[in-house]
Structure 1
Amino acid sequence: MQVTDNRKQITVGVFILLGLVIFVLGVFTLGSQRKAFVKSISVNAVFSDIQGLKAGNNVWFSGVKIGTIKKIQFYGTSQVQVFMNIEEDAHQYIHKNSTASISSDGLIGNKIVVISGGSTKFPFVEDGDQLQVANTLSTDDIMKTFQVNNKNLVDMTSDFKVLARNLVEGKGAAGALLADEQIATNFKAIVQNLKTTTESANKMAVEMNAFTKTLNTKGGLADKLMTDTAVFARLQESVNELQKITQSASAMTDNLNKATAKFNKTDNAVGLLINDQNTADQVKGIMQNLETSSKKLDENMEALQHNFLLRGFFKKKAKAEAAAVAPQK
């Protein structure tokens, strides 16, 4: 009977010892995970919205867990102050101008605090320092953005459906182009004409290039005009002479214009004869009188030749003229 009681006591003692060992191991395990037995310093940051952050959540730096959230309390009127325990070994990488922001461990994981390193120009953080806060988009903000984008996508889809329906029904310029065969044929003809015009332009460019090369041929007229100073001087001299001739022609034309202008005036003889009818009639009468006088003079001379008093004189004159002409034959 006594042996049985001893066995029971020993069994109970073994189970109690195992329980104590398991409890101690659990405490050390949880303590190591939460850095409970690691020397640390305390820093804090004031957030406008902690997005569900809780005490015990992790603090990360460059993707490495360096501490945990110690305490959360309200600050001021509507802000929240978060106290963090940071491993003492890690504080040498965190500077006083470092910033803290709220993030999450994965897309829908636990909330965490992420600390940036800051600038090396500033000293390291110390126990009790307050870090600056960097504003980041929360999950709710991201979801709101997704909702807006989805609404915009729905609107775009609706507009595209209306556009596609109009195209099928032949509405608008694009719809008419797709539905109306005549318009499509005309558009095809326009494209063909544009292609022909482009080919003609290319051909003209090639011919112009060939013509330019011809102008640049050594010894050609264009080459001599551009490079031979003697040819250019002669050409310039010819141009100067042509300019002088042009000036002379202009002066002659001017003189003719002036003379012609005088013909239209009555202050000169020619203009008076051309423009004054009385003077023209008088000149005409004088000419008629001269013609009449000439006829009468001829008649008088004929009468004198037949007069017996002057007949001998005219006969002698005729013989003298005949004798003067005879030796020449």
Structure 2
Amino acid sequence: MKKYLSILLFTAAVTSLTSCLKDDRPNLTPTNSPAVVEFSSSTLELPSSSVGTKYALYERAYELDPNIEMPYVINYTGGSAAPKDIKIKLGIKPEAIDEYVAEQAEDGITLDYSLLPSAFYSIPAEVTIPKGQRMVKINVKLNTTLITDFDAQYVLPISITDADGTTISGNYGTILTKVSVKNKYDGNFTVTATAPMVDVTNATLTGYYPLDSDLVTTSPNSVVMFCNTYLGGLQGHPIKSGTANSYYGNFAPIFTMDDNGNVTSVTNFYGQGGNSSNRAARLDPSGVNKFTVSADGTSKTLEVSYIMVQNGSDRTFFHEKWTFEGSR
């Protein structure tokens, strides 16, 4: 159910002396392209979101675990299977991050990406596509417990550095993976009202439910609301203005829980009053205010009441139930 960004694959020229490919399909197929070695863009075994020009960027969010295995597939493309064992050497290409950031900046998109520290992962130095085969699967070992800065925008740029005499794809010879962590409260939820939303300053503003929303990790015990309904996956809370769809600007709740799942605070992602709307958030202690997670993590429910505060006064009262639909 995760919406994030859809795959945009860009084209490059094919020449006999370079490895750049021209193909606008989601992934190069073995029978319709020159014989090259490349990272697969459609068989990474996990949901992907990708944007890019020369390089595509994939996003991965993992729970805190010292033994994550992050899968990749390397393909041999061409009219036939590999004519021999093809030994492939892998390395890290930090400059690919700089190229990607610079290309996005040309479109007015500012990114603050940094290289994933080497202590956080390990990659195989060499893998082999066996003779007669078209691919090899690899796993990058990842220790997400070492990630303590939940705001960091870490990217892992893995590159095929040598392909045993076989041409390396210019588009897919390097793959960028943005790695983030998620706590046990993280996921995609359906949000319903357990009591009507009330805006004490404007009775024409009412609740907009149900909502398709994500809770995204901001710390080991807190999550922020990203709403897919109406807002397209941005931090915010939709409302109804009469019969029209609307939302509160500069307002998105952050829920913080204690070790027992009790909601201990609700704050505003955009600042506790330090925004142009002078809006903050606080917990309504009259609510259930409990986040319940099953032992296997497949069932998650948040029942919470909270208040949007504006100019120092309680303005809008929310009473909600968040029901887990799946991982984002």
Q: Which has the higher helix share?
A: 1
TM-score range, shorter chain: under 0.3
TM-score, length of structure 2 as denominator length: 0.22
Considering fraction of residues, name the structure with more strand: 2
**Greater relative contact order, per chain length (Cα 8 Å cut-off, separation 6+):** 2
TM-score when normalising by structure 1: 0.22
* Structure showing greater Rg: 1
